[in-house]
Amino acid sequence: MPTSIFDARLRRMQAACDTPAEVRDIESNQREGLRGSRYQRIRALVCGALTLGLFFTTDVRQISAQPDQVSVEPRYAIAMHGAPALPANFGHMPYANPDAPKGGRLVQGLLGSFDSLNPLIVRGAAVQQIRGYGFERGYVYESLMARGDDEAFTLYGLLANGVETDSIRSYVTFHLDPKARFSDGQPLRAEDVLFSWALLRDHGRPNHRQYYAKVAKAEALDPLTVRFDFGGISDRELPLILGLMPILPKHAVDAATFEQTSMKPPIGSGPYRVTAVKPGASVTFTRNPDYWGRDLPVNRGFWNFDEIRLDFYREANGQFEAFKRGLYDFRNETEPLRWHDGYDFPAARDGEVIRDTIKPGVPRPSEYLVFNTRRPLFSDIRVRQALTLLFDFQWINHNYFFDLYARSAGFFAGSELSAYERPADDRERELLKPFAADIAPDILDGSYRLPVTDGSGRDRTTLRAALTLLSQAGYDLDGTVLRQRSTEKPFSFEILVATRDQERIALAYTRDLKRAGIEVTVRSVDGVQFDQRRLGFDFDMIQNRWDQSLSPGNEQWFYWGSQAADSEGTRNYMGAKAPAIDAMIAAMLAARERPDFVSAVRALDRALMSGFYAIPLFNVREQWIARWNRIERPEATALTGYLPETWWQRPAANSN
């Protein structure tokens, strides 16, 4: 459907959403040129999406559902779907050792650099561990509630020891633990929660601004109770999103300068304080001996080291050599070549370095080469399909990765949420019906497969198929150069990389592209510049990974939503703007039961696959962890995989 026609229909449907039901008659269906039943399905889907902020209007639309009138008792936990797995009287998380000894030091080696200690703003390259990588609690900042890492999406009490909401989740109330304190000894109160909400809504990262702006009213019912009302917006995840909000001290944060990068050690309520900073090189966290939450069930067996130091390395080989010398304690290995034969050094042979292979139960981390579809060169889907055909995974996997990698066309690989190689069920088909023209039939029926080459690095079948697609898109070979037919301009672009590993993949890919007459420049930049250009969408193609959970939610707007495509700092790097994607995210967020939720996520996966926005490179079936034997970990592993916050130093090593 042309954009102008869709926009016109959208405006009429938007108006119809605010029209009383008795006024809507068959004439509206005739105006749309659709059968009545199909129009009603589309209208219902669009109206539902509008109430979720799908098309990101500036006003807040009200829906007819009213909050339950029944009194709701505070609970110790809240689950996105179903009930929490742990009982109210649980003693500790099942993947933590409550008897783990305290003491010692953990040194982590990280690739890159930093120029800020504020991870809650867009500017700068910040130390994320201050608050956690996603919405998780970190070393310094804590959230109202804590994730249960053995469940898809369940939160248990942390700063808040009670939570209440109604069945339609029209509001959420948090009851703060009266013992909660910031590291400077000041009590944490409702005013700090309201301050944090307003500050991040107005000055935080784009995802914070988007999520927290959905709150229609926020108020302190008393010094330890905060209520958020959603004004009729239907977003069942929002109570949990607010439960994961990092809480900052009102008395120690200047709102006027909040968005500026800073090396000033932040004050939080978490188990550690920043005690030493070497800009760009290292950050040291020291355990707060007066940490208020040490005895909470969610913390038993956590935060066992007296000191945690983050050391930053500029490039991967130097980082690995530092590990071999024992300069830091563990590494999550991501390079198959190193995992396969790089650990044959004396400490590994003698058992001083232990290698663990962990199989998590969440979607596999997958790497992609991302098209920036804002560039005219990549605006044609046939070009993106052709360049996908030209990536020779079989050759690269065998010669670079010892066949240790797998590959999936979707974005939820290896989990029940993946649509790849799986036919759509009836619920998915119903959701996708209004967008049938945008969903490839073979992706809908599950028969689509990524191209498989002969592994020679010179597969002619895929080359011919790619050149056919490029010809259809207006490009022809002129000798050994692919040119645009109308302008005779050569087909060329740049791949931006930040690491040696990314560079190696990019160079191998340029060999395949050259056979099709495409000239590619591989530009290597440092980590800070790479992040700046990625966040500013200043690239042709980059390598990227979107980490997913078993309960994807509002962050999907941030990854793929239409508004995010024009908002710098979001993770919609490809610039996707597709009504089908927006509608599937809306359906996913509206789902109450797990089966409906799974179908909506699979439908989203199909919409993303059908757009060919990124070339799937590979995914890892396992986590590869190498650690010096002075560091020990629990026998049980969380569904999400390894958790260094549950590790401890071996007592004998601690005494040295």
Would you say residue 103 lies in a domain?
Answer: no
Same domain for 231 and 344, yes or no, is no
Q: In Å, what is the CA distance from 114 to each residue of 105, 280, 283, 292, 446?
A: 22, 5, 10, 29, 43
Mean local confidence (pLDDT), 520-547? 95
Please state, in angstroms and rounded to a whole number, the distance separating the CA atoms of residues 147 and 158: 10
Confidence of residue 177 (pLDDT cuts 50, 70, 90): very high
- Chosen domain end from 196, 222, 257: 257
Same domain for 545 and 649, yes or no, is no
- Express each pLDDT in 288-297 by its tens digit: 999 999 999 9
Would you say residue 612 lies in a domain?
Answer: yes
> Residue 136: what pLDDT?
63
Would you say residue 73 lies in a domain?
Answer: no
Strand duo 541-545 + 492-497: pairing = parallel
Same domain for 344 and 380, yes or no, is no
Q: How many beta carbons lie within 10 A of that of residue 341, not counting itself?
A: 9
Least confident of 126-130, 320-324, 374-378: 126-130
**Rg of the chain taking only CA atoms, in angstroms:** 26
Tokens 């930093």 -> residue: 114
> Residue 576: what pLDDT?
97
Query: Which structural domain, as residue segments, surrounds residue 638?
Result: 272-360+623-655
More confident position, 547 or 288:
288
Triad 642, 647, 652: Cα angle to 5°? 140
> Residue 51: what pLDDT?
37
Same domain for 380 and 325, yes or no, is no
> Residue 655: what pLDDT?
53
Least confident of 172-176, 626-630, 650-654: 650-654
Percentage of the chain lying above the pLDDT 70 cut: 88
Strand duo 648-649 + 631-632: pairing = antiparallel
- Express each pLDDT in 47-104 by its tens digit: 444 433 333 322 222 333 344 444 578 999 999 988 999 999 999 999 999 999 999 9
Q: In Å, what is the CA distance from 399 to each residue of 15, 263, 284, 402, 457?
A: 58, 44, 40, 6, 10
Mean local confidence (pLDDT), 144-150? 95
Question: What are the phi and psi torsion angles at 639 (to 5°)?
Answer: -55, -35
Q: In Å, what is the CA distance from 467 to each residue of 99, 379, 385, 393, 456?
A: 62, 17, 11, 18, 19
The secondary structure of residue 68, as a DSSP letter, is -
- Express each pLDDT in 611-633 by its tens digit: 999 999 999 889 999 999 999 99
632, two tokens: 């020990």
Please state, in angstroms and rounded to a whole number, the distance separating the CA atoms of residues 243 and 56: 23
Same domain for 510 and 592, yes or no, is yes
Same domain for 439 and 399, yes or no, is yes
Closest CA to 158 of 301, 306, 303, 294: 294
> Residue 132: what pLDDT?
66
Q: In the predicted model, is pLDDT for residue 386 greater than 70? A: yes
Q: Cα-Cα-Cα-Cα dihedral of 365, 369, 370, 372, to 10°?
A: 170
Same domain for 324 and 456, yes or no, is no
Closest CA to 136 of 115, 123, 118, 153: 153
Q: In the predicted model, is pLDDT for residue 523 greater than 80? A: yes
> Residue 335: what pLDDT?
82
Q: Cα-Cα-Cα-Cα dihedral of 327, 328, 334, 337, to 10°?
A: 30
- Chosen domain end from 224, 257, 290: 257
The answer to whether the CB of 535 falls within 8 A of the CB of 544 is no
Would you say residue 340 lies in a domain?
Answer: yes
**CATH, residue 221:** 3.40.190.10
Alpha carbon 146 to chain centroid distance?
17
> Residue 82: what pLDDT?
84
Would you say residue 90 lies in a domain?
Answer: no
Alpha carbon 591 to chain centroid distance?
20
245, two tokens: 């909000």
Confidence of residue 654 (pLDDT cuts 50, 70, 90): low
Domain count, the chain: 4
115, two tokens: 């120029």
Q: In the predicted model, is pLDDT for residue 112 greater than 70? A: yes
Same domain for 520 and 599, yes or no, is yes
- Provide DSSP, 517-574: T-EEEEEE--HHHHHHHHHTT--SEEEEE----SS--THHHHHH-TGGGGSTTSS-TT
Same domain for 432 and 561, yes or no, is yes
The answer to whether the CB of 100 falls within 8 A of the CB of 301 is yes
Amino acid at 97: N
Triad 631, 637, 641: Cα angle to 5°? 90
Strand duo 519-524 + 614-619: pairing = unpaired
Same domain for 311 and 378, yes or no, is no
Would you say residue 64 lies in a domain?
Answer: no
The answer to whether the CB of 364 falls within 8 A of the CB of 620 is yes
93, two tokens: 């998380």
- Express each pLDDT in 474-494 by its tens digit: 999 999 999 999 999 999 999
Closest CA to 626 of 410, 353, 397: 353
Would you say residue 97 lies in a domain?
Answer: no
Same domain for 545 and 559, yes or no, is yes
- Express each pLDDT in 495-513 by its tens digit: 999 998 899 999 999 999 9
Would you say residue 57 lies in a domain?
Answer: no
- Chosen domain end from 230, 257, 284: 257
Mean local confidence (pLDDT), 275-285? 96
Confidence of residue 553 (pLDDT cuts 50, 70, 90): confident
Q: Which helix (H) or strand (E) holds 492?
A: strand 492-497
- Express each pLDDT in 229-273 by its tens digit: 999 887 888 999 999 999 999 999 999 999 999 999 999 999 999
Q: Which residues contact 13 (CB under 8 A, 6 or more apart)?
A: 42, 43, 46, 47
Q: In the predicted model, is pLDDT for residue 361 greater than 50? A: yes
Rounded to the nearest integer, the mean pLDDT of the chain is 88
- Express each pLDDT in 9-37 by its tens digit: 333 334 334 333 323 332 333 333 333 33
Using CB atoms within 10 Å of the CB of residue 403, give its burial: 0 to 12 exposed, 13 to 18 middle, 19+ buried.
exposed
- Express each pLDDT in 403-417 by its tens digit: 989 999 999 998 999
Give me the residues paired with residue 357 across strands: 624
Query: On the CB side of 535, how many CA atoms lie within 13 Å of its CA?
Result: 14
Q: In the predicted model, is pLDDT for residue 40 greater than 50? A: no
Same domain for 528 and 603, yes or no, is yes
